[in-house]
Structure 1
Amino acid sequence: MTTTGPEVRWGTGRARGVLAATTLGSGMAMLDSTIVNVALPALGRELGASVSGLQWVLDGYLLTLAALILVGGAMGDRYGRRRVFRIGVVWFGVASALCGVAPSTEVLVVARALQGVGGALLTPGSLAILQSVFARGERATAIGAWSGLSGVATAVGPLVGGLLVQAWSWRLAFLVNLPVAALTWWLTARFVPETRDAGAEGRPDVLAAALCALGLAGLTGALVEAPVRGAGDPVVIGAGVVGVLALVWFGARQARGDRPTVPPSLFADRVFLLANLATFLVYGALGAVMVLLVVQLQVSLGYSPTAAGLAGLPITLLMLVLSARSGRLAERVGPRWQLVVGPLVIAVGLLLLRRVVPGGGYVDAVLPGVLVFGVGLATVVAPVTATVLAAAPDRYAGVASGVNNAVARTGTLLAVAVLPTVAGLGGADYTDPAAMTEGWRTALLVCAGLCVVAGLVASGVDNRVLASAAAKPEPAEHELAHPGECLCCGVEGPPTHLSPRGVER
């Protein structure tokens, strides 16, 4: 791994600048994933969108984000993580402006897809930057702080969205990204050192990215349109078949290619595999619930957009207070128990939220579930992210971050596509309190089950993974893994291309 400066130490001014830049960048993408949720009823009314139209507004963004996030991570490793991160910030800001002026549902879906491209460039870079610039023993702490602050962005999204929708229009939910993008760009230029994988060669696999995007688009299209067109409709069947074939081709290309976007060796690691599977399940449940909660509060309980956003404020506070501590605890005692207990606590919170029905009050129906849900989220988010990155070699920091983010977004993407159908929601049901409540309660049962499975999966994680990663020595010189290959960067040939500690000459 190559860097243009010394390691960043926790507690310094530069550390705070790096954390601020990466948190604002990833938080902007996370905020946009949730801020839109509270705007859906108003957006649907103004643009005349159906349930499937609203699903595409959400999934158009998640689709390109999940499909291209691996390429974004690989591009950061190859061309420089700071450089790609900054490009992503600018792209995201421009696409947000397009979303804010969209005249129709169709135009908005296209603009959201473009937003996802920007998110795919900046999201994996934020974690990869933390993993590559902070000293080894301080990475879990930095990631914990990042998780807490980024989690705040996710949880505060409905509140901000509610205030903006009531202040003027749902369009502000997108236009608010412009000043945030400008500040993030400046902080990155000012504080973040450049890092890259010195062993990366060639260009990212564009065909693999296209296959991944086509596969996810086909499956998502089939799942979203099946309730509208019917499962036997030729368009639905064709989209599903194309999606499956594209994903199979993508997997085969990754397994057999000389320079795969995702090295198969990463998934050969049991910890990496299990932690990502747990991520998929937890974020699938999280994404679906955060969408449905604000809609249920507005449609079935009569909350205003701002009140619906305020209902989730305890999640914000719990993430802010507990996530960094959760990361430090995982570093001291190992992450396994938090990866097991966290999803189970989330499941309990989801079951409590089944009391959010017409006639229920905030204190007795909403608050207990939100509090328990927030505690579970704060327990698991930082440890699962740190575990995934610790299980991967340093040279693959960008790819590992991209994989984990892609897994999380794909979980949310598929949950948003599938869950309304499973819960019996379709057409204009999101405007009918009785139908919305019935679907809401069914969806919570499904999501609680996903979290229980996630906890069981995480029980197989090696509890020593963070300690082993922290104890791994930094290569002072370029040691050889075997004759002709450098441990630091994996480049074949004499270890003369870098100076000690990976600093560019």
Structure 2
Amino acid sequence: MGIFKSDKEAKAPQVTITSSPESSAPGTPPIESALLSADQNAIELEKRPHFGRLASWRGSLILLVTSGAQFLDNVFMTSANMALSSIQEEFNESSTNLQWMISAYTLTFGGFLLLAGVLSDRYGRKTILCAGLAWLSLWTLVIGFGTSFIQLAIFRGLQGMGAAMTVPSAIGIISSYFTGLDRTRALSIYASSGTIGFCAGLLVGGFLTSSLGWRYIFYIIVIITGALGILGAIVIPKDTPIAEKPKMDYAGSILSTSGLILLQFVLSSGGDYGWGTPFIIALLVVAVLLLVAFVILQKYISYPIMPLSLWKLRNFAGLWIAGFTCYGSYQNVIYYIVLMAQQVDNLNAGDTALRFLPMGAIGFVASMGTGKLLEYVNGKYTLLAGLILTVVAPIPSALTATDQEPDFWINVLPSSLISITAVSLIFVTTSTLILTTVPVNVKSLCGGMLNTAFQIGSGVALAISAAVTDAVDISKGHDIAQQYSTGLWCSAGLAGLGLIIAFFSVSRKGIGPNDRTDSDIAV
């Protein structure tokens, strides 16, 4: 028979994915109304349709589409890193402007995640996912035909919007279609695909840039994004229509999206333009004011796009902070060790990609292993193990960075292997625990919030490292190896802060193997 069964054989008839019916009684805070007694939860679950199974053809294809979207989002994020030198040479662009090939994507990706999560929960996860893949495919293809650097930067920003649409909707689809252990495993595989995609982006970008040319990164990947969009339209069940759709918090959407984009811009550009530059200071103040106004608005509005009660859920804030610090530190390490490989060890893009192959293999094993481990071990232990490794990861490269005897296998490889193991533990743990312990119709929102933590964390880590490196090394004329060493020590410090906060703020209660049940009451 094989491990895969038809949906009929698996006793899982076609399922409909709900899009957040408002079940709260008037005047009841949304999240609190979701945290009902066990008896009420059981009654509500009986009213829901049968769920799909992971060991069915349809379940497997749905997981392929959703995990594939997460995989590609990370491929797009890192593959462009390997093409920067070639793009700079073709368009004769300055190093200062070159970072916009990366920043433009992360700006819109991080800025639109929260809004995309709300739209997915309220107006249809399948619709938003397929629309995101279509949008992503369009601008990926256009990037490949770009004729100027400014075009590439603008198109990368538009591409990031499509990527932002796919992440929360994919999370919501997995959480709505699967149940029980199947859901936990599916979320673990989904989270693993992100880590693997990050490594794959380095490899694909390096090989294609050094062989066919950087444009083929986009020519080839667009075929995959288009195929996933078509497959998703076919296999993902239709969203259940809602008789009375909840009101949309347009003011909150504008405030949060504009505030996050401005904050991302400041964090990614402050080091280049100078933190004391008047317009950087002004933009930072405006970004903070917008986000403060957004939080205040969420407290008083009837239908908030981010219910503040989410932060009162046990472990939610601690897991969010762990993701923020760990992913920020990880991105910082990757940024510096890739530069170290190319500018200190003098490797080209292809040779760099080849030497990062062990990192990809370890990332795959660590990600899948973490998902399996969570079935038996309390999530706090895997979280702390990941954070400890995050602190340790940059140290080998920081200690061995030197222009005297450059050697990739000594000053890059150890940190790359430790860092990918650490982020696999953290990424899979935080994603799985948060998404299996929150109410069903805010799962896409929470997925967006968690990925927003990853993006902002990356910006904060790079901003801190750039500022410290400028003050400690660049202003004093120290060599590149010393600058990279300082940046790596900053990564260790940020990870250490996250470890301390997580140790005291994350409780073992509610995140053990037997605690992660289906949170299927809608808020």
How much has 1:160 moved relative to structure 2? 0.6
- Shifted more, 340-349 versus 209-218: the winner is 209-218
Cα distance in 1 for partners of 2:375, 2:240 equals 25
Question: Which letter does structure 1 place at the counterpart of 2:155?
Answer: A
- Structure 1: where are the runs of 5+ without partners? 475-487, 491-505
- 1:229-281: per-residue Cα shift (whole Å, max 9, x none)? 44443322322222222122122222222111111111112311110111011
Distance in structure 1 (CA, Å) of the matches to 2:140 and 2:155: 8
Equivalent residue number for residue 479 of structure 1: none
Q: Which runs of 5+ in 2 are unaligned?
A: 1-14, 19-48
> Would the alpha carbon gap of residues 238 and 378 (structure 1) be closer, same or farther in structure 2, given more than 3 Å must change?
closer
CA distance in 2, matches of 1:200, 1:299: 58
- How large is the Cα RMSD of the aligned pairs? 2.7
Letter in 1 for 2:430: V
Quote the residue 1:144 is aligned against. Answer: 188
Please tell me the residue identity of whatever aligns with 1:255.
Answer: K
Is 1:489 the counterpart of 2:522? The answer is yes
AA in 2 matched with 1:135: T
Normalized against structure 2, the TM-score is what?
0.83
1:461 aligned onto 2:494: no
- Report the Cα offset of residue 33 of structure 1: 0.5
1:388 to 434, 437, 454: 434
Aligned to 1:363: 409
Length, aligned pairs only: 472
Map 1:15-414 → 2, pairs under 5 A: 15-195=59-239, 201-354=245-398, 355-358=400-403, 359-414=405-460
CA contact (8 A) 2:260 2:291 kept: yes
Q: Which amino acid aligns with 1:285?
A: S
Q: Percent identity?
A: 25
Would the aligned equivalents of 1:420 and 1:439 in 2 still touch at CA under 8 Å?
no
Q: How far does residue 219 in structure 1 lie from its aligned partner after superposition?
A: 3.4
Q: Secondary structure at the match of 2:51?
A: coil
Q: Determine the structure 1 residue equivalent to 2:41.
A: none
Shift of 1:81: 0.9
| Mapped contact 1:62–1:409 kept (Cα < 8 A) | yes
Evaluate the alpha carbon distance shift between residue 89 and residue 187 of structure 1 in structure 2; reply closer, same or farther with a 3 A threshold.
same
Distance 1:189 1:172 in 2: 26
Task: Read off the aligned partner of 1:249 and give its amino acid letter.
Answer: A
CA distance in 2: counterparts of 1:379 and 1:254, whole angstroms = 32
Residue identity matched to 2:507:
D
Is the Cα–Cα contact under 8 Å of residues 55 and 417 in structure 1 kept in the other structure?
no
The CA distance in 2 between the partners of 1:135 and 1:201, in whole Å, is 25
> What letter matches 1:489 in structure 2?
A
Give, in angstroms, the shift of residue 316 of structure 1: 1.6
8 Å contact kept, 2:129–2:165: yes
Q: 1:3 to 1:444 in 2, by over 3 A?
A: same
SS of 1:331's partner is coil
Q: Distance in 1 between matches of 2:329 and 2:272?
A: 23
Q: Matches of 1:169 and 1:293 in 2, distance apart?
A: 23
Q: 1:41 to 1:242 in 2, by over 3 A?
A: same
Structure 1, residues 453-477: CA drift from partner, whole Å, max 9, x if none? 2222222323242446544586xxx
Alignment check: 8 A CA contact 1:137 1:470 kept: no
Cα shift readout 1:157-216 (whole Å, capped 9, x = no counterpart): 111101111123322233333111112113212332244696983354333233223323
Partner residue of 1:495? none
One-letter code aligned to 2:71: G
TM-score for the superposition, normalised by structure 1: 0.86
The question of whether the paired residues in 2 share the 8 Å contact of 1:224 and 1:418 is answered with: no
The separation in 2 between residues aligned to 1:233 and 1:444, in whole angstroms, is 25
Q: Which moved more, 1:410-419 or 1:116-125?
A: 410-419
1:78–1:200 contact (8 Å) kept in structure 2: no
